[in-house]
Structure 1
Amino acid sequence: MLTSDEVTNRTFTSTSFRRGYEEREIDDFLDQVVETLRYYEQGGRPGPQAPATPSRPKADGLGGRTTRWLRGDPPS
């Protein structure tokens, strides 16, 4: 099961010969996200590792990295 911190802090390996990330690695991660969402949609409850209230993601989380990647910013 995934936690919100795992989704927020997930990093992917850059490709060697072209710009972007390893497609297979991202597909596997998204499969985990879908599995987790389906669990919750079917009435599953968060485990003890999940925070009681959602925490605000860090500014440099997955969303920030994705935005920079889409803009074509150089990796930091």
Structure 2
Amino acid sequence: MISAEQVLTSRFKPTRFSVGYDQDEVDNFLDRVVATLRHAESGQQTGSPLQPNEVSSARFATTKWREGYDQAQVDALLGEVVATIEHHRERGAL
């Protein structure tokens, strides 16, 4: 399981000359992930919580000649997020 704080402090290897994910799009999506996990951890409602399928189907624009985030690292984090949200749903926190 991954916590909201861990997602908030996650750092990804930057890419410049290889394909990466658009940093702003990833950061904006991770803000929603953090809000969802905080809701599950504390019970504070902060908008509409993300569902596991929304996380697993998230798509981001790619970059090649400007800095982006390493795709494998972002995908791995999102995989952990899906498992965590599913866990919280099973226990009734979401």
TM-score normalised according to structure 1 size: 0.53
1:34 aligned to 82, 85, 88, which one?
Answer: 82
Q: CA deviation at 1:44?
A: 6.7
Structure holding more helix per residue: 2
The percent of aligned pairs where both chains have the same amino acid is 29
- Distance in 2 (CA, whole Å) between partners of 1:35 and 1:44 is 14
The residue aligned with 1:13 is 13
- Quick one: which amino acid aligns to residue 10 of structure 2? R
The residue aligned with 1:24 is 72
- Distance in 1 (CA, whole Å) between partners of 2:92 and 2:6 is 18
Task: In structure 2, list runs of 5 or more residues that go unmatched.
Answer: 18-63
Task: In structure 1, list runs of 5 or more residues that go unmatched.
Answer: 46-76
User: Secondary structure of 1:10's match?
Assistant: coil
- Distance in 1 (CA, whole Å) between partners of 2:76 and 2:90 is 21
- Distance in 2 (CA, whole Å) between partners of 1:26 and 1:2 is 14
- Distance in 2 (CA, whole Å) between partners of 1:42 and 1:16 is 40
Structure holding more strand per residue: 2
Q: CA offsets per residue over residues 36-73 of structure 1, 9 Å max, x none?
A: 0000001177xxxxxxxxxxxxxxxxxxxxxxxxxxxx
The residue aligned with 2:3 is 3
CA RMSD across the alignment: 1.7
Larger Rg: 1
TM-score normalised according to structure 2 size: 0.43
